[in-house]
Structure 1
């Protein structure tokens, strides 16, 4: 009986690995034309500027095309990461991380000079201590949450708060948006789930599932609270074991 169970488990694992390999191959195939389109748009934009042909109409529409390419590329990345999660393949490479400097880098690299002029507000409290995380995965966590905060907020600036507590770092991402229906909150971290009030806003429902996976992989926790005034995602991460400051 035990042998039969082991054989079944091995077969299921093999199927998961095969599915992940297929997803990986397919998403990389999508990446090739996306990269080609992006490069062509960049060349076209540069040539039009050099030839002084960049009228406001062309600039506006080229910008829109670039935004949609970015959205499509991010969706492909999310599908690849989700396939890796299902197959049990994600690898965490943790290292000492200055979360304050990291948050400021995220703001500068991903949320600087937005077309709508909104800003990411960063608030820091407590005495800084390093955490021990995979920086690539922490980037995925914060960019997903902050992007959602901008997407669902109504004309106001979202806030990223870092509070250095005695035993852990608490990170909060707060928006001033439409809120999440109470009946939907328990499903938020389920792949492909989207809350009932998101309307036609873009998204495949993978971002929060990826965030949850990355938070767990880095020994963190994540909770969410929401009402009609907005939503707050609260994360905690333990301090690095090599950081012995009080």
Structure 2
């Protein structure tokens, strides 16, 4: 009987591994056409600007295409990351990071020239100090939180605040959006969970689970507060000098 149970468990694990491997292969295949589309759009935009053909109508729609490409790319990355997390693969490879410069880079790369003209605002207070963090994971944290802030609000762009406190860096992402029902807040970082008021907004319910995993892997904390005026995600990370000591 024990041998039968062992074979059964091994079989289930094998099927799970096969499914994870298949999903990973499929997602990597998706990345090829996404990259080709993105490159073509960039070339088209550059050519039209060079030939002085970039009318506001074309610029608005090219920006919209780029936003959708970014959204699709992030969804594929989230699925790949969630598969890696399920497999128990090691996460963080931290390095010394200037988050203020990193945040400006993220804004320029992912949230610049949006079709709806909204912009990501960045506010910095205190004396800048470096933190020790995996930069690819920091990019995942910020793009997920800021992307959600744009997705679930309409009138004003989100605010990314960096507060250099005495003992830690506090990062806040604030929006003036639809808010999150109070009874759903504790489930937000559960894989595939989506709040009941998101309607038909795109998403797989993986982003916040990945954000929490990345934050915890880099010695950080995460908290969320929300009401009818919007939502605030608050992250804290120790300074690099404090970790080294």
Q: Which moved more, 1:62-71 or 1:37-46?
A: 37-46
Matching residue of 1:140: 140
Matching residue of 2:149: 149
CA distance in structure 1 between the partners assigned to 2:149 and 2:75 by the alignment: 17
* Aligned 8 A contact 2:63 2:113 in 1: no
- Is 2:168 aligned against 1:168? yes
59 and 242 in structure 1: CA distance in 2 versus 1, 3 angstrom threshold:
closer
Give the TM-score taking structure 1 as reference length. Answer: 0.83
Matching residue of 2:31: 31
Pairing 1:29-178 to 2, within 5 Å after superposition = 29-41=29-41, 61=61, 63-178=63-178
156 and 62 in structure 1: CA distance in 2 versus 1, 3 angstrom threshold:
closer
Matching residue of 1:197: 197
Give the CA deviation at 1:94: 0.2
- Tell me the C-alpha RMSD between the 2 structures: 3.0
SS at match of 1:223: strand
* Aligned 8 A contact 1:173 1:234 in 2: yes
* Aligned 8 A contact 1:154 1:178 in 2: no
CA distance in structure 2 between the partners assigned to 1:156 and 1:105 by the alignment: 21
Gaps of 5+ in 1: none
SS at match of 1:237: strand
Gaps of 5+ in 2: none
Paired residues, what number?
245
CA distance in structure 2 between the partners assigned to 1:233 and 1:179 by the alignment: 12
52 and 188 in structure 1: CA distance in 2 versus 1, 3 angstrom threshold:
same
Deviations 1:36-92 (A, max 9, x none): 444455566667778888777666555544433332222111111111111111431
CA distance in structure 1 between the partners assigned to 2:166 and 2:56 by the alignment: 53
SS at match of 1:68: helix
Give the CA deviation at 1:165: 1.9
Give the TM-score taking structure 2 as reference length. Answer: 0.84
